[in-house]
Amino acid sequence: MDLHAIVKACANGSSEFMTNVSMSVVNMLYNWQLMRMLGTNGVAAYGAWAIIMVRETGMN
């Protein structure tokens, strides 16, 4: 394999990687806050709402 091509591919995908990592961290913090405030039912309700909104807006 061409090591230069692999390095370029990794560099090219690094912004997408950081976007996914930051979104995951925000999602975990949001769920943690919901868990503290509303318990498991609050997290479940938010999850159901989020899935419905993603499907309704056609982002799947």
Q: What is the DSSP string of 2-58?
A: -HHHHHHHHHHHHHHHHHHHHHHHHHHHHHHHHHHHHHHHHHHHHHHHHHHHHHHHT
Q: How confident is the model at residue 59 (pLDDT cuts 50, 70, 90)?
A: low
Number of separate domains in the chain: 1
The answer for residues whose C-beta is within 8 angstroms of residue 51's C-beta and 6 or more apart is none
Is 58 a residue whose pLDDT tops 80?
no
Q: What is the mean pLDDT of residues 24-51?
A: 91
Per-chain mean pLDDT for the chain: 89
Whether pTM > 0.75 for this model: the answer is no
Domain with 42, as residue range(s), is 1-60
